[in-house]
Structure 1
Amino acid sequence: MQSTISISQHWGYPRFALEQRTNQGIILGLYYYPSGTELAEQFGGGWRYALMLDKNSDELFHFQESQIQSPSPEELFCQITAEIDFYQQQISILQQQLAAMTGGSTNR
């Protein structure tokens, strides 16, 4: 089941989505500072995003929407392909360990 998020009609729609990859990291959260509020006056109004540099990081960084850039399709393709290769290697290692435990082959 996919979650639904409601956004006030007078707010602009966010440019980035949760879990989207950007040049600054992966988006984990977003929040909005409406114009005329103290937070908007202090930090700038509009959408702000919480990003993690990578999945192994324990730090969150906060950016205004104008500070975030999307990777090019080629960069995104390379990132995703590298991640797939990494996980395929991990699966292969786990299959070898399982085969060693069970005394048989688990390769498919």
Structure 2
Amino acid sequence: MQPTISIPQHWGYPRFALEQRTNQGIILGLYYYPNGTELAEQFGDGWRYALMPNKNSDELFHFQESQIQPFSPQELFLQIRAEIELYQQQINILKQQLAVLTGGFTNA
């Protein structure tokens, strides 16, 4: 069963999703400042997002929805493809290390 998030109808729907990759980073959280509240008056109403610049970062940045730029489909494809290639290289290195440890025997 997948978790469900309910959003009040008068809030509007967020433009971005959790774990979405953007030019600013990966979206880890989102929150809403309703119109007419103190936070909305101070920071602007609407959706705000918490982003981590990259998966190895310990920093978290907050952006308004209008400040976030999604990757184009081509940019996203190239980024994911490069990440897959990196993981494949790491797997090959680990297989080689395992082969040395087991005297050439692997279950791969």
TM-score by length of 1: 0.95
Alignment correspondent of 1:78? 78
Kindly state the Cα deviation for residue 105 of structure 1 after the two structures are TM-superposed: 4.0
Kindly state the Cα deviation for residue 7 of structure 1 after the two structures are TM-superposed: 0.5
Q: Which amino acid aligns with 1:70?
A: P
Q: Is the 8 A contact 1:18 1:28 kept in 2?
A: yes
Q: Is the 8 A contact 1:25 1:54 kept in 2?
A: yes
Matched residue count: 108
Q: Runs (4+) of structure 1 moved beyond 6 Å?
A: none
Alignment correspondent of 2:66? 66
Alignment correspondent of 2:30? 30
Q: Which amino acid aligns with 2:74?
A: E
Change (3 A) 1:83 1:107: farther
Q: Which amino acid aligns with 1:103?
A: G
Alignment correspondent of 1:55? 55
In the alignment, the residues of structure 2 paired with residue 77 and residue 105 of structure 1 have an alpha-carbon distance, to the nearest angstrom, of 36
In the alignment, the residues of structure 1 paired with residue 79 and residue 106 of structure 2 have an alpha-carbon distance, to the nearest angstrom, of 29
In the alignment, the residues of structure 2 paired with residue 30 and residue 80 of structure 1 have an alpha-carbon distance, to the nearest angstrom, of 23
Gaps of 5+ in 2: none
- What do you get for the CA RMSD once the two structures are aligned? 1.1
Kindly state the Cα deviation for residue 106 of structure 1 after the two structures are TM-superposed: 2.7
Gaps of 5+ in 1: none
